[in-house]
Amino acid sequence: MTHLLSIEELSKERIWKIIDGAVSLKTERKNGGHKKLPLQGQTWAMIFSKSSTRTRVSFEVGVRELGGSVMFLSSNDIQLGRGEPIKDTARVLGRMVHGAIIRTFAQQDVIDFANYSGIPTINALTDDAHPCQILADLLTIRERIGTWEKKKIAFVGDGFNNMSRSWMWAAKELDFELAIAAPQGCLPTQGYLDRLNAPNVSITTDPVEAVKDADVINTDVWLSMGQEGQTDKEAHFANYQVNKELLKHAHSSHIVLHCLPAYRGKEITSEVLEAHADSIFQQAENRLHVQKSILSRLASYGQTFRGMFG
């Protein structure tokens, strides 16, 4: 494993190894710290074109706790913000740092950076994929209900955003049923579903149908970062709020997840968020542990590549 660019590229075995590693690292942290520091002597760059709370804090803490150094670079700090091609930035940073964590708009930018830099590259969020979040969600499901295998997971909201797309690829590799409920116009394209080829993924415009007997109910903001002005799109989501009435159709021991930030009164009610705050904020914390597991797995490759330059 040399990069983490999407859930789509991960096998079932790799997902399990990342989750198992996160469990071990979480236990070590609770017991006083890590015996091994796989990022010792390494410097990682965090290149963010999108603002963040959980992603920035969890990665900065994670790199440092694994013994490394980290530098935060917003698009305003570097020449990318003035139009330098991503491949030029990648080829420069690839000779100076050991790895990169990128949070941006276009998935292709992350792919190009990985290809041209040659250093371990982690997708911290793009418009198409949010792999670290899904892995943290899977860890949370394992901790809260024991397993995702043979369970039903519902996603209610935008059926073709970075979260729902990433959930679809996770469902393809892992043994659970995924039901996505979204308004017409926010559904995956048939071409995308054909490429996915996952019979355990169902798509509906009826949120009750998706949530029926679900063990996990997942939601996200209706408008992703950069779409805030699309109020016409938001109007289509009125019937897709995760509220007390909708959850009556879920399994009696269900949990609710939200990747945050949450807009209470829109995609989720304040009542539901507070009732499920333990799982939602455990989910947020698990970003740290999962990302440390990913960093640990990429660390040896980063050291090897940098060794080429002395």
Q: For residue 75, say whether it is annotated as part of any ligand binding site.
A: no
Q: For residue 130, say whether it is annotated as part of any ligand binding site.
A: yes
Q: Which of 130, 258, 289, 297 is catalytic?
A: 130
Q: How far is CA 208 from the centre of its chain?
A: 25
Looking at this protein, which amino acid is placed at residue 182?
A
Q: For residue 297, say whether it is annotated as part of any ligand binding site.
A: no
Q: For residue 79, say whether it is annotated as part of any ligand binding site.
A: yes
Q: For residue 227, say whether it is annotated as part of any ligand binding site.
A: no
190 is catalytic: no
Q: For residue 55, say whether it is annotated as part of any ligand binding site.
A: yes
249 is catalytic: no
276 is catalytic: no
CB-CB neighbours of 97 under 10 Å: 22
Q: For residue 53, say whether it is annotated as part of any ligand binding site.
A: yes
Q: For residue 225, say whether it is annotated as part of any ligand binding site.
A: yes
Q: Which of 56, 254, 259, 297 is catalytic?
A: 259
Spatial distance between the Cα atoms of 185 and 242, rounded to a whole number of angstroms: 19
Spatial distance between the Cα atoms of 156 and 182, rounded to a whole number of angstroms: 6
CA dist 95 → 89, 282, 301 (Å): 10, 37, 14
- For 116, phi then psi, to 5°, come to -85, -30
Q: Which of 42, 133, 241, 283 is catalytic?
A: 133
Q: For residue 132, say whether it is annotated as part of any ligand binding site.
A: yes
Q: Which of 165, 215, 220, 251 is catalytic?
A: 220
Which ranges of 180-276 does DSSP label H, i.e. alpha helix? 190-196, 207-211, 231-234, 244-247, 270-275
Q: For residue 186, say whether it is annotated as part of any ligand binding site.
A: no
Q: How far is CA 206 from the centre of its chain?
A: 25
Nearest to 134 by CA among 218, 199, 50, 194: 218
Q: For residue 52, say whether it is annotated as part of any ligand binding site.
A: yes
Q: Which of 165, 287, 297, 306 is catalytic?
A: 287
Please enumerate, by residue number, every residue annotated as part of a binding site: 52-55, 79, 103, 130-133, 162, 220, 224-225, 259-260, 287
Instruction: Give the residue ranges of the annotated binding site for L-ornithine.
Output: 162, 220, 224-225
Catalytically active residues are 103, 130, 133, 220, 259, 287
Binding site, annotated residues for carbamoyl phosphate: 52-55, 79, 103, 130-133, 259-260, 287
